[in-house]
């Protein structure tokens, strides 16, 4: 039974859930309970939205952009001062290797640094119109923003959503995932310490079907951002539609890595394996399909198999390439994909190995390379969200594009070729939100607009493009004669 926790932050105060209920926090490293979070519900969401609404009418609404930027810069500095503490918390909560956890915390700081610099540079327009008129378009904050973030990158998602929301003058209610809330509670405390006014950031921990549902359905929320599964995204968007609330949805992907016979094979193989094993494959943009030109299939797949065989899986402090998945349910799901593929006759080309630090009670999955995988197989169509890589051969550009676009998703694509003309031809034909050519991920891409098409969702996060999502354009027409 969970002990009572005080992880709800509303109006500048920490509290337990009004019901007194808490949720155990289990580490994916060993399955052991190491903490608890408050089980917030509808009443806590109501209170948090009220606090956020009140803060909009306070000093935050009249604060100059550069002043908001200074507060965010202080928060960025505080995060950098406590990288190790935050990284250890993130690694314990999510199971990711400690080096990756440190990278994620630095990325969180970078989000606030980036958007601090943008806070006083949100520009409007002057439009040419009829003689005797002056027309301006200015961008205003949406208001109260409900942010529902996932468990795979909790700290980074804290910065990715709250950063642009604060830069544009909004207030927020954050609902982190119940499987990984610990870094978000610490970051919320640091934001308060940095000088974010009372009520501007509110945090409600709890279950998605309780606190998350209440936030998405709340009639006094002006904007919603959600990252998670397409199924839950549909529920979020349906709830938002009933209140005519706009939303940004990032709902995962089945991203292709397209390797032509003139690619730098070593660079491509190293990167592709690194991407699918990062965070145990629990990344929305993970390149989980490798499309390889038939003329290079044997050579490239042999190298890919070698790289996959070298992967070792273990606990965060072992600092290997891959850690556990987030929970027992996710472990069972990923292993189910592997077992069904094996049973169906799809060949296992290579597997990584478990390190001695990967204890039996932890939620570890052995990274696995399958191929050739039929294009209609679930490994080629469905998001596994684990360290599972499917190899698919193709003949030429046309077939590569058809296979790459042949899923319900459209988030990211990797393109590996030295042919400059081909790079642009293929990139333009791919139905995705981002294309990386001879690289993948680009250091976190905080400056790069991110989002998908089709079942991967809509709207854009990251970069200056996110500022448009968190603002609304107002047109003002003045007749001066």
User: Which residues are part of the catalytic machinery?
Assistant: 250
Nearest-angstrom CA–CA distance, 456 and 458: 7
**Which string of b and e fits 51-77 if b means at least 16 CB within 10 Å?**
bbbebbeeebeebebeebbbbbbbbbe
Phi and psi at residue 69, in whole multiples of 5°? Answer: -60, -40
**Token pair for 257:** 């890595």
The pair of three-digit structure tokens given for residue 10, joined into one six-digit string: 């509303």
Given the DSSP bridges, would you call strands 247-250 and 256-259 parallel, antiparallel or unpaired? unpaired
Distance, C-alpha 289 to centroid of its chain? 19
Burial class (CB in 10 A: 0-12, 13-18, 19+), 262: middle
List 415's β-bridge partners, or say none. 258, 437
Enumerate the β-bridge partners of residue 436: 414
Q: Which of 307, 382, 310 is nearest to 340 (CA)?
A: 382
Rounded-to-5 percentages of helix, strand, coil across the chain: 40, 20, 35
Residues 6+ apart with CB under 8 A from 3: 22, 36
Give the containing element (helix H, strand E) for 175.
Answer: strand 171-175
| Both structure tokens of 76 | 């960025």
- Joined together, the tokens standing for residue 238 give 């349906």
DSSP 72-118: HHHHHHHHHHTHHHHHHHHHHHH---HHHHHHHHHHHHHHHHHHHHH
Residue-wise DSSP of 375-390: TTSHHHHS---SSEEE
8 A C-beta contact, residue 172 and residue 199: no
Q: Report the distance separating Cα 194 and Cα 370, nearest Å.
A: 48
* CA proximity to 248, closest of 467, 412, 475: 467
């Amino acid at each position: 039974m969970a002990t009572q926790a005080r992880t709800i932050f509303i109006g500048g105060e920490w509290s337990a859930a009004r019901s007194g209920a808490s949720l155990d926090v289990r580490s994916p490293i060993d399955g052991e309970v190491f903490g608890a979070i408050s089980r917030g519900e509808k009443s806590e969401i109501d209170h948090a939205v009220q606090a956020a609404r009140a803060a909009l009418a306070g000093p935050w609404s009249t604060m100059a952009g550069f002043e908001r930027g200074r507060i965010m810069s202080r928060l960025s500095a505080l995060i950098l001062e406590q990288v190790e503490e935050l990284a250890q918390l993130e690694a314990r909560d999510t199971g990711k290797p400690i080096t990756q956890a440190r990278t994620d915390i630095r990325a969180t700081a970078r989000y606030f640094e980036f958007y601090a610099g943008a806070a006083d540079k949100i520009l409007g327009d002057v439009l040419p119109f009829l003689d005797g008129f002056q027309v301006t378009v200015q961008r205003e904050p949406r208001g109260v923003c409900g942010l529902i973030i996932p468990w795979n990158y909790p700290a980074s998602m804290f910065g990715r959503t709250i950063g642009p929301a604060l830069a544009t003058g909004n207030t927020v209610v954050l609902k982190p995932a119940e499987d990984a809330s610990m870094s978000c509670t610490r970051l919320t405390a640091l934001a308060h310490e940095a000088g974010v006014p009372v009520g501007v950031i509110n945090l409600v921990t709890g279950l998605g079907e309780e606190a998350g549902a209440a936030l998405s359905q709340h009639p006094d929320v002006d904007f919603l951002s959600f990252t998670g599964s397409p199924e839950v995204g549909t529920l979020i968007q349906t709830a938002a539609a009933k209140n005519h609330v706009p939303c940004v949805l990032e709902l995962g992907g089945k991203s292709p890595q397209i390797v032509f016979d003139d690619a730098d094979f070593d660079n491509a193989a190293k990167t592709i394996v690194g991407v699918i094993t990062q965070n145990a494959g629990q990344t929305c943009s993970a390149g989980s399909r490798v499309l390889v030109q038939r003329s290079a299939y044997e050579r490239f797949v042999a190298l890919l198999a070698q790289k996959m065989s070298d992967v070792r899986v273990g606990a965060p402090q072992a600092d290997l390439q891959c850690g556990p998945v987030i929970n027992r349910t996710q472990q069972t799901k990923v292993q189910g994909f592997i077992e069904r593929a094996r049973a169906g006759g799809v060949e296992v080309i290579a597997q990584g190995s478990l390190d001695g630090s990967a204890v039996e009670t932890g939620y570890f999955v052995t990274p696995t390379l399958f191929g050739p995988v039929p294009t209609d197989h679930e490994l080629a169509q469905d998001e596994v969200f684990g360290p599972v890589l499917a190899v698919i051969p193709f003949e030429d550009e046309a077939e590569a594009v058809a296979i790459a676009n042949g899923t319900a998703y459209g988030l990211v694509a990797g393109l590996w070729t030295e042919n400059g003309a081909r790079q642009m031809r293929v990139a333009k034909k791919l139905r995705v939100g981002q294309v990386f050519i001879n690289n993948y991920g680009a250091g976190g891409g905080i400056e790069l607009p991110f989002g998908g098409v089709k079942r991967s969702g809509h709207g854009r996060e990251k970069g200056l493009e996110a500022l448009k999502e968190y603002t609304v354009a107002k047109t003002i027409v003045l007749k001066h004669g």
